[in-house]
């Protein structure tokens, strides 16, 4: 195996100087993602820094770098917008190269006639959205990290946006893509409206979290945009169960509002400070062509009427619109949050997102809240515990658990003392009830201890993919696929 010095020399033979970054502060920044944001900001990270960050311009360069790393058994971490939350960008190996899509930033084609656009992996969602809005189109994708997240990362994590109930998750949007495997092979999945040529191989790439291949190009669907027709609906409701029932009613009746959400009292208080009145909040947004918006709006009002015993009151729609207009986080918001944590020694807004069918979600929610309140040894440090359902489907929905706490321990111990025990309860209750422990943030490194439980007998298929595409295990060591050594060192 190469040492750091030899590795940098070898990289210089492959790339130009402006494509290799060995600045210490940037390497420290690259050694972990937002999972350990507090320890990182307090400069007490317990993981090694990568040896270099490299910035290829195109898929041929990615291929050369990967082939080299594969031959020399060097761990590789693909990186996009750097907004990962589950340790997918954290480094667990002494010799690691981060491959960043910074220079792969071209919008290749916007094809409004065929309703699709092709971008290099380093194009941010916001950049593409701005270009599309100029011609009356939208990506329909709007995760809260939209201003920062990039296409390679969005596809690689199976991300989902705030309007998913209408437009779907990224897996519903990807038409075709290009990716590079550790042996240097460049694979291009063509862009067609549908195919039945065997299993849908896009799904080997979507959600791989940089553990099987490096995504270099993505083609996604684009949609006509009708902001002038948007309608907003909001209600104060008696409990989470009522909110979930109304969401279900709208969905099973065949309607697709773009936003459909229910918040617990605690979570509502931090999102809707201007009207929550210490109650649960239910909100909807209808979007699209006028007639569809009208029909969807009527269906929302009928569903609320059906469960009117649990509805306390309807709120002014302009309050929901106002909330909607301030949804996304810029890089400045992300930085400010970390500064706030350091100043106050408190963690606000840690989340774990799971999914299950309609019947099961309220059970999981109630079991988790009970167990955290009664079993979590630091429950007295919690300043908020609640959640919301924000992405609904015909057969079920998600639950986004949110928890804030004051930190009374060494910064390097925060995650193991506070976050991990809560996350463990959430994952245990979800898997016990047959749900998925991971709705949209990816497994990263910190849910990898439960990957086998998540998939059960189907883990066989996942394991074989790893063996086939990454036999030397160079792609993002510790992410998705459990590695006992890393788990024992960095999690337990």
Ligand X SMILES: Cc1cc2nc3c(=O)[nH]c(=O)nc-3n(C[C@H](O)[C@H](O)[C@H](O)COP(=O)(O)OP(=O)(O)OC[C@H]3O[C@@H](n4cnc5c(N)ncnc54)[C@H](O)[C@@H]3O)c2cc1C
Q: Which residues bind ligand X (CB under 6 A)?
A: 33-34, 77-85, 88-89, 101, 121, 143-145, 149-150, 152-154, 156-157, 159-160, 209-210, 214-215, 329, 334, 440-442, 476, 479
Q: Put residue 345 in one of left, alpha, beta given phi > 0 → left and psi -120 to 50 → alpha.
A: left
Task: State the helix-helix crossing angle for 420-432 and 360-375, rounded to 10 degrees.
Answer: 150
**What tokens appear for 10 in the block?**
């070898």
The CA-atom distances, in angstroms, between 437 and each of 135, 261, 315, 430, 461 are: 39, 19, 33, 6, 18
Enumerate the known binding-site residues. Answer: 209-215
DSSP 259-286: EEEEE-HHHHHHH-TTT-TTSEEEEEEE
Cα distance between the two ends of the chain: 28
152 or 386, CB closer to ligand X? 152
Distance separating alpha carbons of residues 146 and 151, to the nearest angstrom: 10
Count the Cβ atoms, other than its own, within 10 Å of residue 134: 8
Nearest approach in angstroms of CB 313 to ligand X is: 28
Residue nearest to ligand X (CB): 153
Question: What DSSP designation does 101 have?
Answer: -
Q: Which of 22, 15, 2 is nearest to 70 (CA)?
A: 2
Distance separating alpha carbons of residues 310 and 240, to the nearest angstrom: 10
Nearest approach in angstroms of CB 229 to ligand X is: 23
Asked if 400 is an active-site residue, the reply is yes
Nearest approach in angstroms of CB 54 to ligand X is: 13
162 or 242, CB closer to ligand X? 162
- Positive or negative, the CA dihedral 239, 240, 242, 243 is positive
329 or 459, CB closer to ligand X? 329
Nearest approach in angstroms of CB 306 to ligand X is: 29
77 or 437, CB closer to ligand X? 77
Nearest approach in angstroms of CB 480 to ligand X is: 9
202 or 238, CB closer to ligand X? 202
Contact 128, 150 (CB under 8 A): no
Residue 423, Cα to own-chain centre: how many angstroms?
A: 16
Enumerate the known binding-site residues for FAD. Answer: 209-215
Catalytic site residue from 400, 403, 446, 477: 400
* Alpha helices (H) along 287-442: 290-306, 317-324, 331-344, 360-375, 414, 420-432
96 or 242, CB closer to ligand X? 96
Strand partners, 176: 219
Distance separating alpha carbons of residues 395 and 257, to the nearest angstrom: 15
144 or 366, CB closer to ligand X? 144
**What tokens appear for 84 in the block?**
């990962």
Strand partners, 347: 405
Distance separating alpha carbons of residues 40 and 21, to the nearest angstrom: 20
Nearest approach in angstroms of CB 161 to ligand X is: 6
Nearest approach in angstroms of CB 155 to ligand X is: 7
Catalytic positions:
400
């Amino acid at each position: 195996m190469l040492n750091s010095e030899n590795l940098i020399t070898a990289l210089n033979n492959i790339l130009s100087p402006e494509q290799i970054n060995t600045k210490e502060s940037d390497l420290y920044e690259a050694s972990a993602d937002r999972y350990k944001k507090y320890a990182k900001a307090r400069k007490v990270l317990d993981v090694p820094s990568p040896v270099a960050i490299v910035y290829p311009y195109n898929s041929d360069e990615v291929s050369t770098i990967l082939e080299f790393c594969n031959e020399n058994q060097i761990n590789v971490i693909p990186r996009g917008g750097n907004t990962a939350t589950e340790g997918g960008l954290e480094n667990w190996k002494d010799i690691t190269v981060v491959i960043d899509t910074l220079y792969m930033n071209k919008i290749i084609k916007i094809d409004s006639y065929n309703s699709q656009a092709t971008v290099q992996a380093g194009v941010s969602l916001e950049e593409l959205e701005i270009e599309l809005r100029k011609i009356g189109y939208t990506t329909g994708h709007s995760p809260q990290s939209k201003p920062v997240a990039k296409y390679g990362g969005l596809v690689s994590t199976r991300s989902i946006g705030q309007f998913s109930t209408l437009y779907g998750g990224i897996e519903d949007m990807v038409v075709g893509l290009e990716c590079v495997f550790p042996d240097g092979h460049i694979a291009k999945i063509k862009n067609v409206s549908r195919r039945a040529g065997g299993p849908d191989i896009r799904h080997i790439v979507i959600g791989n979290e940089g553990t099987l291949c490096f995504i270099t190009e993505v083609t996604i669907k684009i949609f006509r945009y009708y902001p002038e027709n948007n309608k907003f609906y909001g209600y104060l409701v008696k409990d989470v169960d009522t909110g979930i029932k109304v969401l279900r009613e709208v969905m099973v009746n065949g309607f697709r509002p773009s936003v459909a959400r229910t918040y617990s009292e605690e979570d509502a208080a931090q999102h809707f400070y201007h009207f929550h009145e210490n109650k649960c909040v239910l909100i909807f947004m209808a979007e699209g062509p006028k007639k569809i918006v009208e029909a969807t709006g009527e269906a929302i009002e009928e569903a609320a009427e059906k469960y009117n015993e649990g509805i306390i009151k309807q709120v002014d729609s302009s309050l929901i619109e106002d909330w909607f207009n301030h949804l996304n986080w810029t890089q400045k918001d992300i930085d400010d949050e970390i500064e706030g944590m350091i100043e106050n020694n408190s963690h606000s807004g840690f989340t774990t997102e799971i999914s299950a069918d309609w019947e099961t979600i309220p059970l999981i929610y109630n079991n988790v809240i009970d167990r955290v309140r009664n079993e979590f040894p630091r429950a007295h440090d919690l300043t908020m515990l609640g959640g919301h359902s924000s992405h609904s489907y015909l057969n079920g929905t998600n639950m986004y658990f949110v928890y804030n706490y004051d930190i009374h321990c060494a910064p390097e111990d925060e995650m193991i003392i506070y976050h991990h025990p809560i996350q463990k309860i959430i994952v245990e209750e979800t898997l016990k009830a047959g749900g998925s422990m991971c709705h949209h943030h990816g497994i990263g490194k910190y849910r990898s201890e439960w990957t086998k439980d998540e998939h059960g007998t189907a883990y066989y298929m996942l394991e074989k993919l790893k063996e086939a595409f990454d036999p030397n295990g160079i792609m993002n060591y510790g992410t998705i696929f459990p590695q006992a050594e890393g788990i024992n060192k960095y999690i337990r």
